[in-house]
């Protein structure tokens, strides 16, 4: 049983408290299908999210099977939440999305058990014939069925649905409501659906009507017209406007006991008719009033009969390990990557084009570095001046080419990570709610992005060095990798913090754009700003470390043309390592926070 005991929920608006829910009380027994209806802004979705634990109630408490949810929250496998938005990846098929959801939520003894669960859910939700279709070509009704299918993988005892019929045509809406009704008849499951529509209400066991955050009615669909004194349920909303929410709530409080008694009578009749089967009855499972039902033509259902019918009900699933979830996420991420033509095409273009751009300027940094003469003849002085000018020209080109590599790898890093979390925010929040561990998710991101970083950086090094070798070797390669990794890590943190993918992309591009002018490689920074700004500019540290990895004669030539000071290699390693670590920690911390409305 789910019980809401005098729930209130307040938020602050301009420093003033605003009450969205007030004195909400209801009880829902096992095997019950309930609708939450009411005018726009009455608190329907707020109530559903408060039940789910996404909002923390200001007053009152929810009780689930006798458990106080303010002290002991739902287990992930106990509850399923179907939001309004799509929670599936467009690049994957129906079957692949359901499989991914199942493997993230449940442990399976064998691949056969997993396949059996998926097949059963496809049949229950009517998705068998389109199991191999990509999500991006599904209709609205099919996507809602898929969302339900993904929630059923853990066989939840409580299923919460937020406007799952919104935007559907009448036929599709009817099909979804009938499907929810059918789901509520399985294993004593409670299904609560928020809906703005007053159609198909006869399929619900009870209707909870909200008005201005108060409960105005909670009873059977048949009793709703009688209670509000209207001929058609379509007239209920105009009727609500005749009183305030508080007035309707007081009126309902006086009549609640009688209507709950009728609900209990209807429920017992449905059990006797075999419409649904629930676990063994006890006093806690009855609604408010203990009503004795003794029909003349039927014997009451005994606990032994109920237990016998429920022998084939699976045990509560348990959440998979961090490693198991990681492999599921990692395999899915690569599958999505290769299915997304735009993403892998852009990666391929950058990996091929950017090294070519650097190599185009390589001849300017390939000039021979000539040692200056120690003689003092006029001819020698003239030759020394020409040699010095040539060395400075070569040194300047070498410095610029290295910085060019670093900036292009920074741009790759920005492209790698800017949308990685923000672009899938809704799905991430849903999967976290369903039991996905943040550590599994972030490990997947780090491994996926780390692979891209290595491929991009190593290819940049090998391709450019084929045309242009000024020394540096593995040290230079290590700084190219660190430059890319630092920018990738910081942009991943931005992605985790940002509200939208577009916002994350814009901030990341700005970050890359400021790398060159603030590094001091082209124009020295003012002394007072150098030590304030420089620690945050990863391009400087990668460039400085790479410069120090050059051959001694090339290094001397580069130093002669610089207006800024270089930093020793070890310090460059440390600072870039800090950039990477801080980015990872911020991304992890931001991903732990709930951002349902981001």
Are the beta carbons of 467 and 390 closer than 8 angstroms? no
461 plus 350 within the same structural domain: yes
Distance CA(83)–CA(49), nearest Å, equals 10
Question: Which of 16-20, 35-39, 321-325 has the least mean pLDDT?
Answer: 16-20
pLDDT at position 380: 56
Tell me the pTM: 0.85
Strand order in the sheet with 67-68: 16-28, 2-13, 59-64, 67-68
Task: Provide the pLDDT for residue 466.
Answer: 82
Tell the residue number behind the tokens 């990872």, with chain if given.
584
Higher pLDDT among residues 572 and 303, named by residue: 572
Task: Report the C-alpha gap between 292 and 305 in whole angstroms.
Answer: 19
- Residue 122: count other Cβ atoms within 10 Å of its Cβ: 20
Give the CATH number for residue 243: 3.40.50.300
Domain total in the chain = 2
Note the pLDDT of residue 550. 79
Q: 282 with 411, same domain?
A: no
Do the beta carbons of residue 569 and residue 528 sit within 8 Å? no
What's the whole-number mean pLDDT along residues 497-504?
A: 93
Q: Does residue 298 form part of some domain?
A: yes
- Identify whether 597 is part of a domain: no
What separation in angstroms does the CA of 452 have from each of 457, 459, 470, 504?
A: 8, 11, 26, 19
Same domain as 339, residue 193? no
For β-strands 79-82 and 33-37, DSSP reports them as unpaired
Distance in angstroms (rounded) separating the CA atoms of residues 397 and 150: 57
Please report whether residue 380 resides in a domain: no
Cβ pair 233, 206 in contact under 8 A: no
Q: Do residue 42 and residue 187 come from a single domain?
A: yes
Dist CA 479 CA 453 (whole Å): 12
Q: Which of 76-85, 282-291, 435-444 has the lowest mean pLDDT?
A: 282-291
Same domain, 306 and 342: no
For 437, other C-beta atoms within 10 Å of its C-beta total 18
As a whole number of angstroms, the distance between CA 560 and CA 558 comes to 5
Residue 375, domain member (yes or no) = no
Which of residues 297 and 439 earns the better pLDDT score?
A: 439
Beta bridge partners of 27: 3
Region of poorest pLDDT, from 14-28, 258-272, 552-566: 552-566
Same-domain status, 173 and 67: yes
By CB atoms closer than 10 A (0-12, 13-18, 19+), residue 408 is: buried
Give a yes or no: residue 384 inside a domain.
Answer: no
Assigned token pair, 500:
């939208």
Percent of the chain residues topping a pLDDT of 70: 84
DSSP β-bridge partners for residue 550: 471
Concatenated DSSP letters of 513-561: HTHHHHHSSSSPPPHHHHHHHGGG-HHHHHHHHHHHTB-HHHHHHHHHH
Mean pLDDT of 561-574: 84
Confidence of residue 187 (pLDDT cuts 50, 70, 90): confident
Assess whether 291 and 348 both reside in one domain: no
Determine contact, residues 239/228, Cβ cutoff 8 Å.
yes
Do 277 and 342 reside in the same domain of the chain? Answer: no
pLDDT in tens, 136-174: 999 999 999 999 999 999 999 999 999 998 888 889 999
Tell me: pLDDT of 124 over 60: yes
The arithmetic mean of pLDDT across residues 398-410, rounded, is: 88
The reply to whether 358 and 308 lie within a common domain is no
pLDDT surpassing 70 at residue 112: yes
Task: Give the pLDDT confidence of 59-85 residue by residue, as tens digits.
Answer: 999 999 889 998 888 888 899 999 887
What pLDDT shows up at residue 374? 46
What is the pLDDT confidence band of residue 483, given thresholds at 50, 70 and 90?
A: very high
159 with 307, same domain: the answer is yes
For the chain, the C-alpha Rg in angstroms (whole number) is 32
Examine the domain organization and report whether 405 and 506 are in the same domain: yes
Is a pLDDT exceeding 70 seen at residue 404?
yes
Please work out, in degrees rounded to the nearest 5, the angle formed at the alpha carbon of residue 267 by the alpha carbons of 265 and 269. 70
Percent of the chain with pLDDT over 90: 59
Q: Residue 231, exposed/middle/buried by CB under 10 A (0-12, 13-18, 19+)?
A: exposed
Structural domain includes residue 508? yes
Mean pLDDT of 40-49: 93
Q: Report yes or no on 194 lying in a domain.
A: yes
- List the domain range (segments joined by +) for residue 234: 2-312
Task: Indicate if 256 and 340 belong to the same structural domain.
Answer: no
Confidence at residue 317, expressed as pLDDT on a 0 to 100 scale: 55
Query: Is 33 a member of any domain?
Result: yes
């Amino acid at each position: 049983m789910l019980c809401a005991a005098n729930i209130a929920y307040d938020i602050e608006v301009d420093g003033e408290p605003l009450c969205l829910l007030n004195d909400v009380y209801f009880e829902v027994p096992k095997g019950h299908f309930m609708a939450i209806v009411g005018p726009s802004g009455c608190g329907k979705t707020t109530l559903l999210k408060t039940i789910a634990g996404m909002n923390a109630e200001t007053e009152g408490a929810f009780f689930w099977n006798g458990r106080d949810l303010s002290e002991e929250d739902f287990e992930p496998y106990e509850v399923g939440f179907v939001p309004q938005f799509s929670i599936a990846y467009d690049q994957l098929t129906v079957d692949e999305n359901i499989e991914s959801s199942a493997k993230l939520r449940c442990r399976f003894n064998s691949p056969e058990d997993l396949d059996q669960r998926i097949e059963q859910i496809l049949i229950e939700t009517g998705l068998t014939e389109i199991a191999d279709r990509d999500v991006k070509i599904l209709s609205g009704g099919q996507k809602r069925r898929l969302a339900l299918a993904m929630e059923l993988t853990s066989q939840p005892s409580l299923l919460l649905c937020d406007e799952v019929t919104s935007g559907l045509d009448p036929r599709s809406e009817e099909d979804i409501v009938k499907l929810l009704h059918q789901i509520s008849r399985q294993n004593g499951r409670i299904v609560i659906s928020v809906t703005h529509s007053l159609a198909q209400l006869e399929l619900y066991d009870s209707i909870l009507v909200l008005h201005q955050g108060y409960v105005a009615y909670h009873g059977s669909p048949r009793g709703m017209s009688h209670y509000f004194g209207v001929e058609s349920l379509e007239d209920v909303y105009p009727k609500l406007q005749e009183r305030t929410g508080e007035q309707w709530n007081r009126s309902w409080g006086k009549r609640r006991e009688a209507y709950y008694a009728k609900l209990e009578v209807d429920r017992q009749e449905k059990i006797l008719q075999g419409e649904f089967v629930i676990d063994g009855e006890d006093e806690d499972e009855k609604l408010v009033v203990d009503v004795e039902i003794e029909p003349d033509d039927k014997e009451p259902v005994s606990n032994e009969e109920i237990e016998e019918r429920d022998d084939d009900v699976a045990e509560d699933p348990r959440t998979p390990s961090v490693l198991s979830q990681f492999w599921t996420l990692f395999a899915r991420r690569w599958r999505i990557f290769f299915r997304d033509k735009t993403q892998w095409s852009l990666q391929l273009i950058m990996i091929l084009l950017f090294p070519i751009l650097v190599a185009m300027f390589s001849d300017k940094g390939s000039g021979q570095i000539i040692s200056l003469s120690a003689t003092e003849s006029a001819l020698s002085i003239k030759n020394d001046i020409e040699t010095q000018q040539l060395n400075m020209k070569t040194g300047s080109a070498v410095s610029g080419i290295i910085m060019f590599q670093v900036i292009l790898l920074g741009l790759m890093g920005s492209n790698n990570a800017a949308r990685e979390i923000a672009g899938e925010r809704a799905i991430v929040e849903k999967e976290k709610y369903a039991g996905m561990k943040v550590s599994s998710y972030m490990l997947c991101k780090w491994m996926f992005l780390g692979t891209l970083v290595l491929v991009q950086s190593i290819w940049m090094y090998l391709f450019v060095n084929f045309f242009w070798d000024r020394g540096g070797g593995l040290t230079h390669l290590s700084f190219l990798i660190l430059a890319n990794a630092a920018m990738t890590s910081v942009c991943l943190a931005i992605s985790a913090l940002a509200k939208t993918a577009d916002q994350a992309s814009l901030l990341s591009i700005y970050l890359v754009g400021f790398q060159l002018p603030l590094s001091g490689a082209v124009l020295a920074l003012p002394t007072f700003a150098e030590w304030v700004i420089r620690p945050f500019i990863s391009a400087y540290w990668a460039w400085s470390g790479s410069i120090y990895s050059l051959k001694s004669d090339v290094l001397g030539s580069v130093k002669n043309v610089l207006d800024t000071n270089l930093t020793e290699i070890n310090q460059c390693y440390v600072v870039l390592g800090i950039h990477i670590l801080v980015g990872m920690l911020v991304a992890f911390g931001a991903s732990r926070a709930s951002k349902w409305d981001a």
